[in-house]
Amino acid sequence: MIKKTVTAGLLAAAFGSGLAQAQTPASPHTFSANVGLYSEYIFRGTAQTGGKPALQGGFDYEHSSGLYAGTWASNVSWLEDFGAYTRSSMEWDFYGGFKGNFGQSDFSYDVGTIYYYYPGNANPGVPNADTWEIYGALGWKFLGVKYSYNLKDYFGAQPLPGQKTDGTWYLDFFADYPIGSSGFSVNAHYGILDVKNDGTQALGTEVSYNDWKIGATYAVQSGMLKDLEIGAYYTDTDAKKSPTGTSWWVDGTGYDTADSAFVVYVSKSF
């Protein structure tokens, strides 16, 4: 009887040990990467690559607690196109924050900060384009709103000489509606940019503007191309021109960076 009990106990221990190994708790850490090719890089309704393609990608870390951090980069041309930098062909972002859901509900939140870094050489007398923002967002299922507040000059912009643009804010309303489990979704966005000290009266034009976007995406659901996303969208702004036809957003090459654009892209997450 004792022998049988001991043997059974050893078997149970061995079996239990096997179960423990088979049911190793999932790691609280998640690492991911992404890369994408876009026909043009549009940021808040304005072109960053002067109508030319952009290669973009980044790395992200998330903790099960909701903490996250990441970095992302893209080629750009706008600093050279506007004559602000002698050499600058890259935007490199660093961000981090905390996100999650309110209890077990469909309502979510996201608070964090992002730093936009532009390596290169600014021309004499031109403010540095590096920008630092803090943000907060609320979401419900496929709907969301995000408020970003600038802590430095807004990408080096000073419409009136000596008048800093820290305190500029951007309000983003967005929706991303999935069509069942097909992998297709439709999305839309409306943004409001309010540039501090935008010099409207002195310039005869407005630096602040509203922008909008509407588009659709398809994400591959399985197979070798799983998580490959193909998308397209149309975007435009109401950025106004002065009575003489000039605009703050027209670069040195004559390209209107705030004009409408149609963008197609393909991206992949890993």
One DSSP character per residue, 65-87 reads TSEEEEEEEEE--HHHHTTSEEE
Confidence band, pLDDT 50/70/90 cuts, at residue 23: low
In this prediction, residue 32 carries a pLDDT of: 96
In this prediction, residue 241 carries a pLDDT of: 63
**Residue scoring higher pLDDT (241 or 59):** 59
Percentage of the residues of the chain whose pLDDT score is greater than 70 = 87
- Total-model pTM: 0.87
Q: Which residues of 63-98 are buried (b: 16+ CB within 10 A; e: fewer)?
A: eeeeebebbbbbbbbbbbbbebbeebeebbeebebe
Mean pLDDT over all residues of the chain?
A: 88
| Tens-place pLDDT, residues 82-117 | 999 988 899 999 999 999 999 999 999 999 999 999
In this prediction, residue 223 carries a pLDDT of: 86
Percentage of the residues of the chain whose pLDDT score is greater than 90 = 67
Domain boundaries, the chain: 29-269
Q: Which CATH superfamily is domain 29-269 in?
A: monomeric porin ompg (2.40.160.40)
Confidence band, pLDDT 50/70/90 cuts, at residue 219: very high
Residue recorded with tokens 């506007």: 82
pLDDT of 204 above 80: no
A 10 A CB-CB count for 221 gives 12
- Which SS3 state, helix, strand or coil, does residue 270 take? coil
In this prediction, residue 203 carries a pLDDT of: 57
- Which SS3 state, helix, strand or coil, does residue 268 take? strand
Question: Residue range 219-225: average pLDDT?
Answer: 89
Nearest-angstrom CA–CA distance, 137 and 144: 7
A 10 A CB-CB count for 14 gives 10
